[in-house]
Structure 1
Amino acid sequence: MTTGLRVLRRAELDTFFEVLVAAFAGALETPEEQEKWRTVIDPDRSLAAWDDGAMVGTAGSYGFRVTVPGGAAVPAAGVTMVSVLPTHRRRGVLTSLMRRQLDDVRAWGEPLAVLTASEPGIYGRFGYGVATEQLSARVDTSRVRLSPPPGGDALRLRLVDPRDEGVRQRCAALYAARVPLRPGMLVRSPGWERADTHDPERLRAGASALRCVLAERDGELRGYARYAVRADADSTGPKGEVLVRAVEACDPVALGALLGHLFDLDLTTWLTLGNRPVDDGWLHMVSDVRRCGIALRDGLHLRLVDVGAALAARTYAAPVDAVLEVADGFCPWNEGRWRLVGGPAGATCVRTDDAPDLALSVRELGTAYLGGPTLLALAAAGRVREVRAGALAEVSRAFRGDVAPWLPHSF
């Protein structure tokens, strides 16, 4: 089969979403859900695959910037809405879309590509590594006590309408101030503050409409939490569940105050957190972490589109001077040896003919890039090879970050 690829035309958006619905078994089913994505989609960054005049595959990207170790916001293509109709799978359509997309991202001068995966096993073969993890928890609040830091009494907690435009803008500004502080967070473009409060009834699973509580000190916003409540009870009494959609706080006091509100909601005995950093402060505020039902899963998948530019864009926790021999069969312009010289003040990364110190693929670089999973751990799995004795520990130490990388939301 010969499949044609080209950039999407705005007039083809309805067909684009129809293919997504068919490929994802009903996702984006309602007009409201589709409208959420219409406000942020860029047709000029979207591709469609065609077979005999019919659209059979899709792929898009957002023009994001992602925080990297050191606090810089590096241009990154936020890969999204990738689909292939069931009738055209395993026929090379996805590979063609990924090939064209990465060529375009390189031409746009964006050194990184990032995505969240509906099926995480797909994207490793295209050079993406799992760079962040997300922690989820289901806390038995009838048995787990919260010990927040002192000072919460100075904060005013206030329930507000999450869809109020003023509330949206205040929460968006607080989020933006937090972005440089943790690798993996995305600089949001206009429109994403509305996507944050998207709340279609069909996805509530019996829960209430979205709610929002603000934590303020002398009128200044110090944090917010968005959540819903699902009522439940048995013969012993109420057993409702608090479903937390987002929590952002400027300091531990605000975080503790917001969590205290969520822990103490009447008629509830469960608190579910769907996506938090693996080093989140609340883990050290609870009395019994075993009763918190903690689980981990993959978060942001990251690919280095331009190895030299990407490695030079971040800082390093310790001085590093090493030659990396990089394998990248899908983006051959990255193949070869790169000398990385850097430290806490910055870095350079250029091509070299010198002997290598480490050998690895671009996928492993993507996994370690934000300072989460270590090169030592990847070497233990046989995915990084030490050529010069001692180089592995040196480079792995340099790649580490002060805080765990985290992506707060999908896209």
Structure 2
Amino acid sequence: MTQLADPHDALSLRPLAAEEWEPWYDALETAFGSVESAERRAMWHALTEVDRSLGVWEGEAPVGTAGAFSFRMAVPGGAVLPTAGVTMVGVLPTHRRRGVLTALMRHQLDDVHERGEALAVLTASEPAIYGRYGYGLGTWKLRVEAPRAWVRVAPGPEDGRIRLRLADPRAALAHCERLYHELVPRRPGMLARRPGWERLPVFDPPAERGGHGPLHCLLAEDRTDGELLGYARYSVAEQWLDGGPAGVVRVREVTAASAAARRALWRYLLDLDLTETVQVPSLPLDDPLLHLVGDPRRLRPRQLDALFVRLVEVGDALRSRRYAAPVDVVLAVQDEFCPWNTGHWHLHSAGPEKGAACEPTEASAELALAVRELGAAYLGGTTLAALAGAGLVTELRPGALAEASRAFAWDVAPWLPHGF
């Protein structure tokens, strides 16, 4: 049990006990001003890792919460690294600005450090909060909303080899999960789902459908051998206006291992009878859909923040990914919250086909930045050059910025497939 800094506060921080989950989660819901369905609450209860969950308590009452999931996340080059997925962070309105959140973040990052996980990630309800703890915006997403009448995917030369069929989402789940698992290393930011997490993509309680029908699963298979090449999950909200049918298609996921499968899935989703609008809440910034349709402007794409990345072990994290170009640079890293990262780090790699080394050094710095900016650039979705343009990265050797920025970039945009 840890006492918080203010001696006048009768607050203590300690790990959660399994039997305390219900009041602990009640406090989290109060902090967010929300009440979840019984089904969603039960799912998060089952997924909670109690040994990674923390509470700040005032007597017997929880007033602050924080947890972590033991994820594995893809990084540039295809490695899938142990990663702490920070989650369920909340402080009661009555206990704000009393050091509760800082104490939780301090304890949690120390624990991640002791576990040897090089990375921590989170999605932020208020992004401004987490920068001071070293989290940088590492991935973006696109939200699109397309008028069906104006968006079309043209036929492709391999359409004939793809067979589409509808399947029960749960019956097809294991089949789809195998394909998802195969594709994880190809895109930075993708999460390798642990047992139990396969429930999330098909979670579909009637109370949360918001006027939509049940979840559908569309499979794209090779006609010759039945191999699964892709799948889509979607629902439809029936709607009628004076002018006729105006249904809304909500696309939860499109996953494809081939261009032909992807084209076939999107042609289907953008041409469903009795519908007028297709909504897609999350796509990678470089999603091929932008190039499949004749008029991408009609997709009305909107860019939104997604995953915030924190390097907990700078050396391990930087040597575990690949680099798009040769790099040999000394980084001066500043990390006030995790001081073991502060110092000069010599990063060198011969390019994408080679591994990387990153070790502490006494050599003069050539590029200076805070750990937050290193996290923002880590998955390849934000360039160091852009951060330097904002005054957040300082070049100390002419040419070091361009060299490092090219190396940290990646040819596939990072993307978080689902929240947590």
Native 8 Å contact 2:57 2:64 kept in 1: yes
The range that moved more, 229-238 or 41-50, is 229-238
In structure 2, list runs of 5 or more residues that go unmatched: 1-8
Which residues in structure 2 correspond to 1:59-138 (within 5 Å)? 59-138=66-145
2:92 and 2:176 mapped to 1: Cα distance?
38
| Separation of aligned partners in 2, 1:145 and 1:258 | 12
Whether the 8 Å CA contact 1:148–1:253 is kept in 2: the answer is no
Separation in 2, partners of 1:202, 1:153? 39
SS of aligned partner of 1:142: helix
- SS of the counterpart of 2:103? helix
User: Which among 382, 390, 410 is matched to residue 401 of structure 1?
Assistant: 410
Counterpart-to-counterpart distance in 2, 1:238 and 1:114: 42
| Aligned match of 1:322 | 329
Equivalence for 1:197: 202
Question: How far, CA to CA, are the matches of 1:170 and 1:135 in structure 2?
Answer: 27
Q: Does 1:186 align with 2:191?
A: yes
Q: Distance in 1 between matches of 2:287 and 2:381?
A: 14
Residue in structure 1 matched with residue 41 of structure 2 by the alignment = 34
The DSSP-based 3-state class of the residue aligned with 2:380 is: coil
Tell me if 1:281 matches 2:288: yes
> For residue 366 of structure 2, what is the aligned residue in structure 1?
357
CA distance in 2, matches of 1:172, 1:180: 14
Task: Check the 8 A contact 2:151/2:270 in 1, yes or no.
Answer: no
Q: Does 1:153 align with 2:160?
A: yes
The alpha carbon displacement at 1:140 in A equals 1.2
Give the alignment partner of residue 22 of structure 1, picking from 4, 22, 30.
Answer: 30
Please say if residues 72 and 314 of structure 1, whose CA atoms lie closer than 8 Å, have aligned partners that are also in contact.
yes
Q: What is the TM-score with the length of structure 1 in the denominator? A: 0.97
Whether contact under 8 Å (2:68, 2:84) holds in the other structure is: yes
Q: How many residues align?
A: 408
User: What is aligned with 1:4?
Assistant: 12
Match of 2:4 in 1: none
Paired residue for 1:296? 303
TM-score by length of 2: 0.95
Out of 145, 148, 152, the position equivalent to 1:141 is: 148
Distance 2:126 2:296 in 1: 29
Over aligned residues, Cα RMSD in angstroms? Answer: 1.1
> Helix, strand or coil: the match of 1:206?
coil
Secondary structure at the counterpart of residue 356 of structure 1? coil
Residue 294 of structure 1 aligns to which amino acid in structure 2? Answer: P
Structure 1 moving runs of 4+ over 4 Å: none
Aligned to 1:54: 61
| Aligned partners of 2:148 and 2:277 also within 8 Å | yes
Cα deviation, residue 3, structure 1: 2.3
**Kept in 2: contact 1:149–1:252 (CA 8 A):** no
Q: Secondary structure at the match of 1:272?
A: strand
Residue by residue, what CA displacement relative to the aligned partner does 1:290-330 show, whole Å, maximum 9, x if unpaired?
11110011111100001111101111111111110011111
